[in-house]
Amino acid sequence: MVENILENIFKIEIPLPNNPLQALNSYIIKGKDRTLVIDTGMNREECKTAMLDGLAEIGVSLKKIDFFITHMHTDHCGLVASLVKSFPMIYCSRPAATGIAALCRPEYWDKAKAIGHLIGFPEQELQYAIDNHPGNKYCPRGKMSFNILKDQDTLSVGGYNFTCIETPGHTKGHLCLYEPKAKLLFSGDHILADITPNISLGLTYENDLLLAYINNLDKISLLDTSLVLPGHRSLITNCKARIRELKKHHKLRSDEVLSILKNGSQNAYQVASQMTWDMTFETWEQFPVLQKWFACGEAMAHLKYLEEKQLIYKDEKEKAYYYSLSERSKDIASCCWAVTLTQAKFF
């Protein structure tokens, strides 16, 4: 399904069958010589057919397309090696390029499995999660060339002059594209309207990606925007209001994690099983294994954030990380959590 949003800007809805995200928004900026495709969908037939049909409807030649990839997740990058025969030009951040190139390597998923052990993910569910992870099943396979972009780099196409905005959080190498004159923001999965972007620690434990995410919401709120074009679902007209909602959501989440840990030391899997999730299943046991995996990733991001704030600490037990409230957190009465988190720039 193609929608003409503004002059030379089109949206193709790429279906993501059997995925809670439902679809990806791919944006096409049609230029005189080259056309820029912002995010692609997964490397699977349903996505490829929708993309090819959409590009044909817009009248774009596959020989003249380049890609801008907001981040390394396969719902955004999966098709980059399947639409153009040899060495497509992919504009993205350095961490995204490294991630995209690594997704189809077994070593990448060995690391994911090791993280699964640290989370406390049950052994009988772990291999299923790794084998069926969309990043593993639908990764781009083929020759690729990357053109690395960093903060404030520019791209001109279709009469628009875009500026890259580095926005680590949803992933380490997430980039948004901003067009100051038209006040447009292509937000990838940094800001979504109807669902909350998943903030996960990914395969490295060293980055506090939730703190980065919160700071990069503040960075975006300084921009003058009239229309935000996100990677999934509805477009956004009031960016600042949505940012306030997203920050409030994560503050409540962090409070919830602290209150769960009042019951004693727990691993990320145990914490995630008690958090509130916007899902139709009544119990944690009914969650599909992959949804448990993503929930644990988000729990880990909150645990890392609270650990960096010294409100909790971790121990390693039976090859998994267990988290407990710190003395510092016990010094602060529960009524003061809000104060602590205010200092953490949630508001």
- From 93-101, 151-159, 186-194, 241-249, span contacting Zn ion (CB under 5 A): 186-194
Nearer to Zn ion, 88 or 231 (CB): 231
The interface mask with Zn ion, positions 220-249, x = CB under 5 A, is -----------x------------------
Contact in structure between 66 and 91 (CB atoms under 8 Å): yes
* Minimum CB distance to Zn ion smaller for 88 or for 134: 134
> 18-37: which residues touch Zn ion (CB under 5 A)?
none
Mention every residue, 6+ apart, whose C-beta is less than 8 A from residue 28: 9, 10, 11, 12, 35, 36, 37, 38, 54, 55, 58, 60
Q: Are 67 and 146 in contact (CB under 8 A)?
A: no
Q: Which stretch binds Zn ion (CB under 5 A): 67-75, 115-123, 140-148, 214-222?
A: 67-75
SS3 297: helix
Rounded Cα distance between 219 and 51, Å, is 32
| The amino acid at 310 | Q
Looking at the Cβ atoms of 174 and 309, the one nearer to Zn ion is 174
CB of 81 to Zn ion, least distance (A): 18
Question: Judged by CB under 5 A, which stretch of 89-97, 163-171, 181-189, 243-251 contacts Zn ion?
Answer: 181-189
Binding Zn ion by CB under 5 A: which of 66, 75, 166, 179?
75
Per the structure block, which two tokens stand in for 154? Answer: 């520019």
Nearer to Zn ion, 301 or 344 (CB): 301
Nearest distance, CB of residue 230 and Zn ion, angstroms: 9
- Does 189 engage in binding with Zn ion (CB under 5 A)? yes
Structure-block tokens of residue 203: 């395969």
Eight-state DSSP code of residue 334: G
- Token representation of residue 207: 């980055």
The total number of residues written for the chain in this structure: 347
Q: Own/partner pairs for 57-62, CB < 8 Å, 24+ apart? A: 57/2, 58/2, 58/10, 58/12, 58/28, 58/30, 59/30, 60/28, 60/30, 60/35
Considering CB under 5 A, how many residues would be counted as binding Zn ion?
A: 3
Contact window for Zn ion (CB under 5 A) among 25-33, 70-78, 289-297, 325-333: 70-78
Binding status of residue 179 toward Zn ion by CB under 5 A: no
Of 10, 5, 139, nearest to 65 (Cα)?
10
CB of 122 to Zn ion, least distance (A): 26
Kindly indicate which of the ranges 51-59, 187-195, 245-253, 297-305 contains the residues binding Zn ion, using the contact rule CB under 5 A.
187-195
- Looking at the Cβ atoms of 73 and 309, the one nearer to Zn ion is 73
> Which of 66, 75 has the CB closer to Zn ion?
75
- Rule CB under 5 A: which residues touch Zn ion? 75, 189, 231
